[in-house]
Chains A and B, each alone.
Chain A
Amino acid sequence: MREERECSIDAFNAHAVNNNIPLSVLFELTYRCNLNCGHCYQVDRGSEELCFSEVTGIIDQLAAENCLFLTLSGGEVFVREDFFDIARYALKKGFALKVFSNGTLIDESVAHELACLHPLEVGVSIYGADAATHDQFTGMPGSFHRSVNALKQLKHQGVLTVVKCLLMKENIIQIGGIKALAKEVGAILQFDPIVVPKIDGNRDPLQHELTDTDLHRFFSLEIAEPNPAKEPNPRLSQPIICRAGRDLCCISPRGDIYPCMAFPITLGNLRKQSFAEIWRGVEAEKLRKLTPSDLHECVSCPDLNYCTRCWGLAAVESGDLLGPSQINCRIARIRHRISVERAGNKIEMR
């Protein structure tokens, strides 16, 4: 009765991508946050956030569209007093839930309530191995201890936790300490080496971004194989080069649908149209028709096979969806260099 092979996540996703099934949706429930991180990509885009009945109405629509993985995020989700009402509603509608939080509002009681939702994971942002470093980023004294306590409480409740750490020039030297911390609290660790501009193009967060030397060190030490791509780079050799707007999307606190959280192009607004209308609408279809041949420069780039180009990042950085992404270019160049170094050759850093 069961298929002979287990369904891999890759096969699962491929079916959704090929059929534009929004299998994974990131729902940003609020822009409000109790922290004030200078590197945050979010900006409050004005107007009133969706109320409970609007959120549940959208959840109903997502269920009808066969969305299975629903990530509830913010801002900080726990500043919404109706968070658990929303989450329980989603659970009743058959979603597999993930929650992203800064953890500062998760105490023993909240952790217990979260555990009752059977989330696939709860991701907690950690920006350093110690309070001094972390709290400097968040602007809230005590936030490190509260976030670490949240991870411990969640673990105690049997919840799978993920330490989500954005690497910046101020915390890159603490990689070892952050690893030890994640191990201590029993969490999976995810490093993200890419600081992005704010979604409106404001480049202030980039003051924290890693230098080329830092990136080289990170990809040399942390990534066993800096060149996972086979020739030709599968991300740029197929009509479908990104899952954004195909099997995943992001919904903002105001009801805007974005292809993904990093993609600054609105497909439509759920206060004006249904999800189905937007998902099958002109803007979404236009996005899905883009192919590598539409790109201005990337296809002839010597670092192409090392690139994990992000359409959204390109658009946020330069306003040009079809142009190169500076940070992706830098990383591709560094990965290329590492690959050549490992092969015993040398290549000049451009």
Chain B
Amino acid sequence: MNKVKGKDVMLSKYLLRSDSTAYRTIDGIALIVGAPEGKLRSLNEAGTFIWEKANGRHTLSEIVHQMCQKYDVDYTQAAQDAEIFVHELESEDMLVLIDDPVDSEEAQ
């Protein structure tokens, strides 16, 4: 089942890339490395879109809405996929979900 616990809550959270990750977007593909294990991840175009927006200033819901506009996809399905994706990266300590937005000066 592609279901994430507390998914309605998740959509209202702000996404922030973890301090312990580094990344580059090369040819539209984000390549992420997480310390200290040096775990590597490559993201597809949609995953890269979310990752690059994860600066602590956008909720997941806002990001999904932006994604729907850009790629002309259905919100419900996109939100479900995005929650699964975010849940995975959160469980690997690559993304952090926070209640309040970070100050613009702090945003990565």
Contact = CB atoms under 8 A, between A and B. Distances in A.
5 contacts: A1-B43, A68-B31, A96-B33, A120-B36, A159-B36
Contact of B22 (A11, A15, A96, A159): A96
Interface string A1-31: 1110011110110011000010000000000
Interface of B: 19-20, 22-24, 26, 31, 33, 35-38, 40-44, 46-47, 50, 81-82, 84-85, 88, 108
Q: How large is the interface on A (under 10, 10 to 19, 20 to 34, 35 or more residues)?
A: 20 to 34
A94 interface: yes
A95 interface: yes
Interface of A: 1-3, 6-9, 11-12, 15-16, 21, 66-69, 94-97, 118-121, 158-160
A320 to B, nearest CB: 35
Contacts of A9: 40
Contacts of B50: 1
A2 B42 CA distance: 7
Contact of A118 (B20, B81, B82): B20
B61 to A, nearest CB: 16
B43 A12 contact: no
Contact of A12 (B37, B40, B47): B40
Contacts of B26: 15-16, 21, 66
Given A1-B44, A1-B46, A6-B42, 10 more contacts: A2-B88, A3-B43, A12-B31, A12-B42, A94-B23, A94-B108, A96-B33, A96-B35, A120-B33, A160-B38
A2 B31 contact: no
A68 to B, nearest CB: 5
B42 A121 contact: no
Nearest to B40: A7
A101 B47 CA distance: 37
Main secondary structure of the interface of A (DSSP, over half): loop
Contacts of A120: 33, 35-36, 38
Contacts of B38: 96, 120-121, 160
B97 to A, nearest CB: 16
A132 B28 CA distance: 53
A9 to B, nearest CB: 6
A68 B33 contact: yes
Contacts of B40: 6-9, 12
B36 A158 contact: yes
A8 B47 CA distance: 17
A9 B38 CA distance: 10
Given A1-B82, A118-B35, A120-B35, A7 B22 contact: no
Contacts of B42: 2-3, 6-7, 11-12
B18 to A, nearest CB: 9
Nearest to B38: A120
B44 A94 contact: no
Contact of B41 (A7, A68, A94): A7
A122 B89 CA distance: 25
Contacts of A12: 31, 40, 42
Contacts of A1: 43-44, 46-47, 50, 81-82, 84-85
Contacts of A2: 41-44, 47, 85, 88
Name the residue among A1, A7, A15 with the largest chain B CB count within 10 angstroms.
A1
Contacts of B81: 1
B36 A121 contact: yes
Contacts of B47: 1-2
Nearest to A68: B24
A66 B27 CA distance: 10
A257 B107 CA distance: 33
A69 B31 CA distance: 11
A308 to B, nearest CB: 23
Nearest to B18: A118
Contacts of B88: 2
Contacts of A118: 19-20, 35-36
A160 B37 contact: yes
Contacts of A68: 22-24, 31, 33
Nearest to A11: B42
